[in-house]
Structure 1
């Protein structure tokens, strides 16, 4: 047996081992309850309170309701008091847990001293940074945004700055106690460059990288930091579109929390994990083709209801 044959045998064996390991790791995603089990008292062991931004509806409301169901008191935060009061009553009646309402517009400046004061004295064990906004109802090229300067500022404030500031407020208390959970809601579109969603997708890339770095820094302190990057979920932001891949908010939140110990980044459900793998196999030249971009824009225009949804949650 010559050297070349040995080389190819070694190479083939290495490929088989690599593929086997990848398949094993993927199989864990199919059975999160078995591979990443959470004790029944997991969330309440983190602390008495959970804080959820953008929780007047959609994914944020679902996180607040699920964490209250798990036995936590919750702080819900958004800009519309009437909606927050309704959600607070709903959660209180359903779970018997305490609910604190903080009305705040995350697109504005100089709001965090008020939030910090409102949270003073609360034993916060879980933080869910969910609030986010789209630049416009219809996806469009970057330069076509109306009031572009204001849109850029609001996107950064809402999608990026809020996440960092909320971590800055709550993380020190978690570090002192040696435990805590931070969930930062990202988006599946952060997995690849996404024309027409360029600004929004870029803010979500920041969410992913910030979460990965923060988890690496504080996991030794007993703190879990995870970015959750869903694709389509049935919310106002997606025009309540329903399909085989579109999960309800409650279903998505329940599934995503099962992956809390699966690493610093997850798509939150097996259907979205498979969708991400499929999309990443498509060459960018195809995804960036003019015909695909135009079809995407036309598709979203077709979905838009007469009453356009709010751009933020």
Structure 2
């Protein structure tokens, strides 16, 4: 009994001497919990502000706010075509910049017929030389260009090791996704600055947020476009030009053609059709300068940020090993 009494006495004495430390730890825990709660509340408010309010109260004056024409670079990509259609619904005419006329001719004709907008197809291959800019300059001359949409090459989303990529294919890809997109901004920006209005949208990929095996080049290109957009926003937002970086995650691989009733494969809640994604992304114009463009993928991005980098790397290595 004496031993029990001695233990209780020792415990009380230790508790009394450590009470200040317990109170300090409790205060630190309370501050940490409050901080996390504030961050969570802020993220929820941003989610509502960026993705839900614009769709409840849509902006139907894109043409008056930014301009009459939109330039779509990388126009053969399904997301770019869907984005062009979404802009055409707002009576905005489209200039398609592509190296393959057949990939956009049907869509261009369909947009003109369905929405009564003008469409122009310009053949330009920036992997060749600077002479490719001449037909682009000629096509844009005299037009009130209010939008530029740069879209990264969707073929890069297929996993491929860097050493397995052909050297010429790597050079062509750099010219198209880095040099070409940068040059397109250089071509349209002077007119936007002169009119003090316009929007530049760079559609890259969520691969710039977290590294993935077999996507080193995709992470590099999209990381460049993302940081390029953010730098442009700092430099030109005060001059009436809205610069947006879209970093979507996986999007269904193919877009439903205007004359077809078949649906793209691989769709899901986190994997939208290009049409669905474009509808959500256009609604964020003028609202957020950096977003996934689609609210379920914004949730996905938030969950990814909660995973420490070292844990993410270990998971990627385990995934590669298991293949």
TM-score (norm 1): 0.83
User: Structure 1 pair 131/288, CA: closer, same or farther in 2 (3 Å)?
Assistant: closer
* Alignment of structure 1 residues 58-73 onto 2, 5 Å: 58-73=78-93
Q: Find the counterpart in structure 1 of residue 105 from structure 2.
A: 85
2:65 paired residue among 39, 45, 50? 45
Secondary structure of the residue that 1:92 maps to in structure 2?
helix
Task: Report if the CA contact (8 A) 1:52-1:128 is conserved.
Answer: yes
Give me the whole-angstrom Cα distance separating, in 1, the residues matched to 2:21 and 2:63: 57
Q: Find the counterpart in structure 2 of residue 123 from structure 1.
A: 144
Q: Find the counterpart in structure 2 of residue 190 from structure 1.
A: 208
Give me the whole-angstrom Cα distance separating, in 2, the residues matched to 1:138 and 1:125: 33
Runs of 4+ more than 3 Å apart: 1-11, 35-39
In the TM superposition, what whole-angstrom CA distance separates every residue of 1:173-205 from its partner, at most 9, and x where no partner exists? 111111111100010111012220101111100
Secondary structure of the residue that 1:273 maps to in structure 2?
helix
Task: Report if the CA contact (8 A) 1:134-1:200 is conserved.
Answer: no
Q: Find the counterpart in structure 2 of residue 287 from structure 1.
A: 315
Q: Find the counterpart in structure 2 of residue 213 from structure 1.
A: 231
Give me the whole-angstrom Cα distance separating, in 1, the residues matched to 2:114 and 2:241: 29
In the TM superposition, what whole-angstrom CA distance separates every residue of 1:159-180 from its partner, at most 9, and x where no partner exists? 1111110110101111111111
Task: Report if the CA contact (8 A) 1:46-1:179 is conserved.
Answer: yes
TM-score (norm 2): 0.81
Give me the whole-angstrom Cα distance separating, in 2, the residues matched to 1:292 and 1:6: 42
**RMSD, aligned α-carbons:** 2.6
Query: Which piece of structure 1 moves more, 15-24 or 164-173?
Result: 15-24
Query: Which piece of structure 1 moves more, 77-86 or 217-226?
Result: 77-86
The reply on whether 1:139 has 2:159 as its aligned counterpart is yes
Q: CA deviation at 1:14?
A: 6.3
Give me the whole-angstrom Cα distance separating, in 2, the residues matched to 1:51 and 1:44: 16
Task: Report if the CA contact (8 A) 2:208-2:223 is conserved.
Answer: yes
Q: Find the counterpart in structure 1 of residue 271 from structure 2.
A: 246
Give me the whole-angstrom Cα distance separating, in 2, the residues matched to 1:155 and 1:240: 26
2:197 paired residue among 179, 185, 190? 179
Q: CA deviation at 1:23?
A: 1.8
Q: CA deviation at 1:88?
A: 1.1
Give me the whole-angstrom Cα distance separating, in 2, the residues matched to 1:68 and 1:141: 38
User: Structure 1 pair 50/14, CA: closer, same or farther in 2 (3 Å)?
Assistant: same
Give me the whole-angstrom Cα distance separating, in 1, the residues matched to 2:94 and 2:203: 17
User: Structure 1 pair 38/243, CA: closer, same or farther in 2 (3 Å)?
Assistant: closer
Greater radius of gyration (CA): 2
User: Structure 1 pair 117/126, CA: closer, same or farther in 2 (3 Å)?
Assistant: same
Q: CA deviation at 1:87?
A: 1.1
User: Structure 1 pair 9/294, CA: closer, same or farther in 2 (3 Å)?
Assistant: closer
Q: CA deviation at 1:25?
A: 3.1
Q: Find the counterpart in structure 2 of residue 34 from structure 1.
A: 53
In the TM superposition, what whole-angstrom CA distance separates every residue of 1:89-117 from its partner, at most 9, and x where no partner exists? 11011100111111223433321233122
User: Structure 1 pair 260/18, CA: closer, same or farther in 2 (3 Å)?
Assistant: farther
2:117 paired residue among 97, 113, 117? 97
User: Structure 1 pair 161/57, CA: closer, same or farther in 2 (3 Å)?
Assistant: closer
Task: Report if the CA contact (8 A) 1:33-1:258 is conserved.
Answer: no
Task: Report if the CA contact (8 A) 1:109-1:157 is conserved.
Answer: no
Give me the whole-angstrom Cα distance separating, in 1, the residues matched to 2:306 and 2:25: 29
